[in-house]
Structure 1
Amino acid sequence: MEPNVGAAFRAGKLGHFRDAAAYARYRKAYDRAMAALPAPTVTLDVPTGFGSVRVYRFGPADGVPLLLLPGHTAAAPMWEANLAGLAKSRPVYAVDLIGMPGLSVQTRRLTSAEDQAAWLASLLDGLPEPSLDVLGLSIGGWSALNLAVHQPAGIRSLILLEPGATFGGITWKVVIVSLGSVLPMPKAVRRRLMSWISGGADASEDDPVAALIASGMRDFTTSLPQPAYPTDDQIAGIDRPTLVIIGGRSIIHDPGKAAARARRLLRHGTVELWPEASHAINGEFPERIETTVNDFLAKHESG
């Protein structure tokens, strides 16, 4: 499916690249970042009622797959630090979110949390396996939990890394960072915002993933509803094993309060607060995430 390019998509509130030059810049950054990943065994474009979803499969042929949902303004290549480790013993799917920068193509406006769950549920229906483990980072974590709230069929377990707008309310700091994806601003300012949310890490565009995210912020226009903050009853109603990992240096929520709410409400939850981690937890601690995730999945596979 051809990408959405140009202002004609604005009226329908569909995610789109600002113009042809913007798409060319983004595609160059995307291909560069993809080149740093292990070679996918399969590349799919899965149709849903809200558009076509770009999906890459990695790892062995057999086993229950792990589905990776990326963070805000990111895409499948953001998992560069994690893919090799997570795909050692199981198949892994990495996707580009509908309505966000990437190679998924939105064709219908998303207006609610139910719509967000519907396209993701349709994606799961379009994959060959009857059930998957779902891992999401940041807004991908919210998307995973939102799916479990509204359409849990097909989910075997949830893994939420630094999930935004999920267990803790969004902070004013996140509002400032989000302006980088909707307002024109100098590259140096955008780079400082990216470094801030990443716990002070170097956000130089010399790094392929940082360059991809920066291009997404600059060259793509999103038009998505604000994430619906889940109620206590919705979280308590989740009946899937759930692993939550929260960074103690995160700026997207109050880490202690978010961890406490998750522990209080999740009936089948394992909640870890990593004091030294920021919101960029997947790139800071890839080996620890690999071990923790694999141990969690092995426990529930055997149980």
Structure 2
Amino acid sequence: MSARTTPSPARTAAFLTAYDALLARWPVQVEHLTVRTPHGTTRINACGPSDGRPLVLLHGGGATSTMWFANVAAWTAAGHRVLAPDLIGDPGRSVHDGAPLAGVPGLLGWLDAVLDQLGLPRADFCGHSYGGWIALEYALHAPARVGRLALLDPTQCFAGFRPDYLLHALPLFLPRRTAARARAYLDWEAGDGPRPDPGWREVYALGYADFPATRVVTGPRPGLDRLRSLTTPTLALFAEHSRTHHAPRVAEAARRALPEATVAVLPGLSHHHLPMAGAAEINARLTGFLAAPRG
């Protein structure tokens, strides 16, 4: 069960300043939408033509919806109505002041409610990291509401975490959360690859330090039978240097589970920075995938 969180304004002032500064870097006009669900108020950063094909973006844990700054211009230019919510209970401008999520069904029910309030019977989905797991679970939960599904270095979908990754991530769950601890984790995960974007790195670090800790809603990896029941056209892109998992092995597991999916490993990229450092290739691949006719 996920605890409800109403963060203190005094604690979150620096985070919200960093959040707004990164959102100001989005190279398109952004609309700030809010919808009320049984679990609280959800903030959605929206852009693109109001009558465009809806594309819901689900960010990774702690990353906030601001992380898509390098992607939204290409996707809106392709005619998509981009809708990027802040996950309920996560750092961001969504406020979890309603009912507890009560596990995976509650999390998926929250997403049902968001789509209902936006008046969307169907949308395409793109999720990164933890957001990829949510997007995949949602496609299995409500296949009629997901047109196409894109997964960017998704975790806990086709394989588990590397043991050494869990060891390095463990300090994030210890008491006395500090921004310095989050920055060190991001820098370690980047390895020898591109450095984290400084503005996004600060949003992540301050959100980690200044929001009350919540129990992340997780569940078991989807079993092979469930994965093979998925009929939604799927694109899965993995970061070659991701430290969360061994990308080539996870990509092969995805191909076995979803033989009709398009699966690729993108060279030179790490887990957290895939959508930013790899923006040119990811933007082109996703635009082409969404435009392809369904067979």
After TM superposition, the score normalised by the length of structure 2 is 0.90
Q: Give the SS at the match of 1:118.
A: helix
Tell me the distance in 1 between the aligned counterparts of 2:151 and 2:54: 16
1:297 CA drift (Å): 0.8
Does structure 2 conserve the Cα–Cα contact (< 8 Å) formed by 1:65 and 1:92?
yes
1:95-134 matches, cutoff 5 A: 95-106=85-96, 107-134=98-125
Q: Which structure 1 segments of 5+ residues have no match? A: 1-10
- The residue number in structure 2 matching 1:247 is 239
- The residue number in structure 1 matching 2:229 is 237
Aligned AA for 2:5? G
Q: Give the SS at the match of 2:53.
A: coil
Aligned AA for 1:223? R
Residues 242-251 or 167-176, more deviating: 167-176
1:199 CA drift (Å): 3.7
- The residue number in structure 1 matching 2:210 is 219
1:151 CA drift (Å): 2.3
1:263 CA drift (Å): 0.5
Q: Give the SS at the match of 2:290.
A: helix
Matched, 1:257 2:281: no
Does structure 2 conserve the Cα–Cα contact (< 8 Å) formed by 1:177 and 1:197?
no
Aligned sequence identity (%): 32
Tell me the distance in 2 between the aligned counterparts of 1:187 and 1:93: 28
- The residue number in structure 2 matching 1:67 is 56
Q: Aligned-residue CA RMSD in angstroms?
A: 2.1
State the aligned residue count: 289
Q: Which structure 2 segments of 5+ residues have no match? A: none
1:16 CA drift (Å): 4.1
1:152 CA drift (Å): 2.4
Does structure 1 conserve the Cα–Cα contact (< 8 Å) formed by 2:236 and 2:261?
yes
Does structure 2 conserve the Cα–Cα contact (< 8 Å) formed by 1:67 and 1:132?
yes
Tell me the distance in 1 between the aligned counterparts of 2:170 and 2:288: 34
Tell me the distance in 1 between the aligned counterparts of 2:57 and 2:2: 28
Tell me the distance in 2 between the aligned counterparts of 1:251 and 1:236: 27
Tell me the distance in 2 between the aligned counterparts of 1:12 and 1:113: 10
1:18-167 matches, cutoff 5 A: 19-89=8-78, 90-106=80-96, 107-167=98-158
- The residue number in structure 1 matching 2:187 is 195
- The residue number in structure 2 matching 1:6 is none
Aligned AA for 1:297? L
Aligned AA for 1:33? L
Tell me the distance in 1 between the aligned counterparts of 2:175 and 2:277: 28
1:246-275 CA distance string (max 9 Å, x none): 112111112122111110111531111123
After TM superposition, the score normalised by the length of structure 1 is 0.88
Tell me the distance in 1 between the aligned counterparts of 2:55 and 2:68: 13
Tell me the distance in 2 between the aligned counterparts of 1:218 and 1:54: 21
1:72 CA drift (Å): 1.0
List structure 1 segments (4+ residues) > 6 angstroms apart after TM superposition: none
- Change in 2 beyond 3 A, CA 1:199/1:94: farther
1:64 CA drift (Å): 1.2
Aligned AA for 2:93? L
Tell me the distance in 2 between the aligned counterparts of 1:118 and 1:187: 32
Aligned AA for 2:113? S
Tell me the distance in 2 between the aligned counterparts of 1:258 and 1:34: 32
1:113 CA drift (Å): 1.8
Q: Give the SS at the match of 1:196.
A: helix
